[in-house]
Amino acid sequence: MIIAIARRLHGRDEGLGLVELLISTLLGLIILVTAGALMISTTRASGIQAKSDINARGAGTAMNTMSRYLHAATTYPTSSGTLPAFATMGATDVTFYAYVNLVSTAAQPVKVRYYVDSTTKNLMQQLYSSTCSVTTGFCTFSSTATTINLGGPVASPTSDTPPAPLFVYLNAGGAATTIASAVQSVQVNLEYGSATAGSPGNTHLTNTIALLNIGQFGGDSS
């Protein structure tokens, strides 16, 4: 249409008529709007992809960190009896004992907490160091923790069908349990990138982590 109008203009001196001018202006606006919408769509898609890549790396790091400590979860012997590996078992907040020592070769436990910060919705890690008696072998934990921000925010429950909480505690048969002494593995459902489940660019990782040390130091491992 625009080419035909241009040819007509070239062949006569009087130029474009009002109708032809309106049509050419309208067509020009349509082309500009279409090109602009395409550019916006492309930019938005590129932004979501970049966000997805960043979230994938952050989620992978967070999952690897939690897996390393949860694999090492163990029961906790005290002078008054052996405690289960898990001190607290919440949907977004868990505290447990683990034999992971990254600073020496000593077999010395740490108390580990993972939780979702109520304000930022980021995933947080707290590590409580221990002091052990050379006489009794029993250990006590510091009242202060080293806190590490594992990033986020995270959504819990997730956008799964049905929605899943961040932490699910499983017994030896693979069924969910609320009994600390019966926990044999922990399913971690990590939706990372937004506190709103299903947001574009979110990364979702699920991992069932076996507690390799349960029973090694006594206690109920059923």
Q: What is the mean pLDDT of each run of 10 residues along the chain (222 residues)?
A: 53 60 76 74 62 89 95 90 95 93 67 97 95 87 95 95 96 94 96 94 94 59 38
Alpha-carbon distances, residue 203 vs 59, 66, 104, 159, 192 (angstroms)? 7, 16, 35, 11, 5
Q: What are phi and psi of 61, to 5 degrees?
A: -65, -45
Question: Would you state the pLDDT for residue 217?
Answer: 40
Residue that the structure tokens 């499983």 belong to: 170
Q: pTM for this one?
A: 0.75
User: Which DSSP symbol is given to 84?
Assistant: P
Helices assigned H by DSSP within the chain? 2-10, 18-71
Question: Would you state the pLDDT for residue 120?
Answer: 97
Please report, rounded to a whole number, the percentage of residues in the chain having pLDDT higher than 90. Answer: 55
Question: Would you state the pLDDT for residue 219?
Answer: 38
- The number of beta carbons lying within 10 Å of the beta carbon of residue 219 is 19
For residue 130 the two structure tokens come to 């221990």
- Alpha carbon 109 to its chain centroid, in Å, reads 26
**Alpha-carbon dihedral sign for residues 155, 160, 162, 168:** negative
CA torsion angle for 84, 98, 131, 117 (degrees, to 10)? -90
